[in-house]
Amino acid sequence: MIIAIDGPAGAGKSTVARQIASRLGLPYLESGLIYRAIARRALDDGVAADLRAFHRWLEEATIEVETSPAAPRCLASGSGPPPVSTAVRINGRLVEGDLKSAEVSQLASELSADKLVRQRILECQRKVGRERGVVAEGRDMTTVVFPEAEHKFFLDASFEERVKRLYNYRVSLGYPADIDRIRAETRERDVRDSTRDVAPLRRAEGAVYIDSTNLSVDEVVRQIMERIR
């Protein structure tokens, strides 16, 4: 079974997808974490600032995506949300460390619009679904990565509600948080995600639309589970 969930930043996709995967005993694929892992390693290897150097580095890199509902790994440092079950290896080495910082988040968002990056990870993502089924969330899970998914959802929320959630999340991780800056970053990210040439964010045909603005996580999970059943 493949369950695909798309939506903008702050809509609650990760939290909801993690719970759905746990209830169904399926691997959980957090696509955003893959981009964060690539961003983190590119920063560490000193190739993030030079697009040509980055592309050469990416072409030579071996990227592996691992998922396991039974043995989850948390790739964020320090305290924060529960462990997730997506892990990324680049050149055989697990990408660990701080994947949730503002620097990594900004670079990951920019890399998500890079055609070469998306091409490199597309097969990695599809391999997870082919092997064991998956609950996958991101921006193009229903439209590009798993267009054949049995269940498709588009999870949304009002702009201000999403800003508030992103602010609270950053605070929960112990990062400095300025709500005006987060509002500006979210607006910029929305425009980039929806207008980019490669796999723009859009609601796929047949995807069930859920507005989570006034819903709890449990209520969203319940709606999705009812649809699946």
Taking the C-alpha atoms of residue 64 and residue 161, their distance in angstroms, rounded to an integer, is 34
Mind listing the pLDDT tens digit for each residue in 7-59? 999 999 999 999 999 898 888 998 888 999 999 999 999 999 999 999 999 99
> Which of 2.40.110.10, 3.40.50.300, 1.20.120.420, 3.40.50.360 is the CATH number of 2-222?
3.40.50.300
Q: What is the pLDDT of residue 82?
A: 40
Mind listing the pLDDT tens digit for each residue in 105-141? 889 988 988 999 998 889 888 888 887 789 999 999 9
Q: What is the pLDDT of residue 38?
A: 95
Between residues 193 and 79, the one the model is more confident about? 193
Taking the C-alpha atoms of residue 72 and residue 94, their distance in angstroms, rounded to an integer, is 13
Q: What is the pLDDT of residue 127?
A: 86
Taking the C-alpha atoms of residue 174 and residue 154, their distance in angstroms, rounded to an integer, is 29
Per-residue pLDDT at 84 exceeds 50: no
Per-residue pLDDT at 77 exceeds 50: no
Do the beta carbons of residue 83 and residue 73 sit within 8 Å? yes
Boundaries of every domain in the chain: 2-222
- pTM here is 0.85
Per-residue pLDDT at 165 exceeds 80: yes
Q: Residue 88: exposed, middle, or buried by beta-carbon count in 10 A (0-12, 13-18, 19+)?
A: buried
